[in-house]
Amino acid sequence: MFTSLSRLRADVDRWQAAGWVDPDGARHIKAELDARHSGLSLPNTLAVLGVVLIAFAAMSFVAANWQDLSKLARLTVLGTGLVASYVGADTLFRRGHDGFGHAAVLLGVAIFGASIMLIAQMYHMEGSPPDAVWLWLVGALAAGILIRSNPALGLAAILLVIWSHMTIQTAPRAIHWGFLPMWALAAFGVAETRWHRGMHLLALALSYWIVVSAFQWSDANGKYVVLAVGLALALGSIAFGDVIDRWRRISPAMLAYGMGLAFVALLVIQFMPRGLFYGSKTGNLWVWGTITLALIVGALMWAWRTENRSALWLAYAAFVIEIFALYIAKLGTLLNTSLFFLVTGLLVIALAVVAYRMHNAIGPTKGAAP
């Protein structure tokens, strides 16, 4: 846990110079090391938590609007803090404390954000509040991409969502297209550092944007857009998974997020057809309930075959939520609901039998599915 990544990288350079590792191999080893190093370790986690606390101290310092210190003095405090963070990061990186170095970079980005707020406050800038967050986001992206710093990229992912949310608040009914290029920049940074958790953060941010944009575009038809995008993502991951994974291994996540989006859309179509706040009228449950269950069973089978655990659990959860929702909403009468569950139950059991036969035909290499 305390092994220095820099020292390991230096070792790889040495092995490469000695001819034990070819240049391509050395690069792959380093990439693997970087990716593995993004994992949590206690000292690094504590350092990041400490930075978060100091960042809040800086923000409170700004909010206090303490007049005893002149504007210039206040600016100097934050400017010095900003430079000290990056100089400190340099020292820490050179001594091989990479985790602490990245925490110092995060501190620099946090002080940059606090400084923006301080300047806006000192000069009474009303401006457009999202613009301030946008500038902070640009600073976080610059640090994340140029320094290859995962904590800065993580902060950028959070700022992306805050920025988009604030922009929509100031201009409702307009789709926030500006989100996409900034998201692409963040995705580029995460792809370069191969940071797995960052990929999930960005996937969540994009999912948020897709849902919000679709409903901004049309309150009535946005759900079909979300469904289409979700299915396209899921099918795309199935059809082009090999090609995508040769670049970065993200097709399993693509499938899971696509499924999640499609399921959210299907829930809205079935149970909130008139919008989120318009009473309890339900859609055509016979048709959409059947489609939803068929998609869930299909996703479950695919996830099982490809050993995609997150998609598998998502499909299980979706199945449980779907049947409970159908049971509560009722398909006409209780008797009809009972008939629906009986028929779909028999169909799924028939599928189970077919799957069992196929499984045995291939040969019992694994235990039967529970």
Partner 1 sequence: MTALSDRLPAVLRSRRGTLLLVAALQLMALGYMVFDRVRLVKTGKEIVLPIIPVDPRDLFKGDYVRLAYPISRPDAVAFSGPMPDRSAWGYAVVEPDPDPARIWKIVRISASRPTDLSPGQIVMKARAPGGWREKQPVLHFGLERYYVPEGTGLALEKMAADRKLAAIVAVDASGNAAIKGLSVDGRKVYDEPMF
According to the binding rule CB under 8 A, does residue 143 interact with partner 1? yes
Q: Quick one: 35 or 368, whose CB is closer to partner 1?
A: 35
Residue 196: C-alpha distances to residues 12, 36, 114, 169, 172 (Å) = 23, 9, 28, 31, 33
Report the nearest approach of partner 1 to the CB of residue 185 (Å): 13
Structure token pair of residue 274? 């008139």
According to the binding rule CB under 8 A, does residue 126 interact with partner 1? yes
Residue 80, exposed/middle/buried by CB under 10 A (0-12, 13-18, 19+)? exposed
Q: Quick one: 169 or 338, whose CB is closer to partner 1?
A: 169
Please choose, out of 101-109, 200-208, 274-282, 288-296, the segment that lies near partner 1 by the rule CB under 8 A.
101-109
- In the list 127, 178, 275, 298, the residue contacting partner 1 (rule: CB under 8 A) is 127
Please choose, out of 38-46, 60-68, 207-215, 270-278, the segment that lies near partner 1 by the rule CB under 8 A.
60-68
Q: Quick one: 191 or 235, whose CB is closer to partner 1?
A: 191
- In the list 65, 218, 221, 360, the residue contacting partner 1 (rule: CB under 8 A) is 65
For partner 1, what does the binding mask look like between residues 268 and 287, x meaning CB under 8 A? --------------------
Report the nearest approach of partner 1 to the CB of residue 112 (Å): 4
According to the binding rule CB under 8 A, does residue 10 interact with partner 1? no
**Positions 157 through 186 that interact with partner 1 (CB under 8 A):** 170-171, 173-174
- In the list 52, 59, 77, 135, the residue contacting partner 1 (rule: CB under 8 A) is 135
According to the binding rule CB under 8 A, does residue 122 interact with partner 1? yes
Separation between Cα atoms, residue 265 and residue 232, nearest integer Å: 13
According to the binding rule CB under 8 A, does residue 146 interact with partner 1? yes
Residue 123: C-alpha distances to residues 15, 116, 117, 120 (Å) = 56, 11, 10, 6
According to the binding rule CB under 8 A, does residue 116 interact with partner 1? yes
- In the list 39, 43, 79, 178, the residue contacting partner 1 (rule: CB under 8 A) is 79
Q: Quick one: 75 or 267, whose CB is closer to partner 1?
A: 75
Report the nearest approach of partner 1 to the CB of residue 195 (Å): 15
Number of residues that this document lists for the chain: 370
- In the list 47, 48, 54, 89, the residue contacting partner 1 (rule: CB under 8 A) is 89
Per the CB < 8 A criterion, the answer to whether 115 and 79 are in contact is yes
**Positions 288 through 317 that interact with partner 1 (CB under 8 A):** none
According to the binding rule CB under 8 A, does residue 66 interact with partner 1? yes
- In the list 44, 51, 58, 86, the residue contacting partner 1 (rule: CB under 8 A) is 86
Q: Quick one: 30 or 359, whose CB is closer to partner 1?
A: 30
Report the nearest approach of partner 1 to the CB of residue 7 (Å): 15
According to the binding rule CB under 8 A, does residue 71 interact with partner 1? yes
User: Which residues are at the interface with partner 1 (CB under 8 A)?
Assistant: 27, 31, 63-67, 70-72, 75, 79, 82-83, 85-87, 89-90, 93-94, 105, 108-109, 112, 115-116, 119-128, 135, 138-139, 142-143, 146-148, 170-171, 173-174, 192
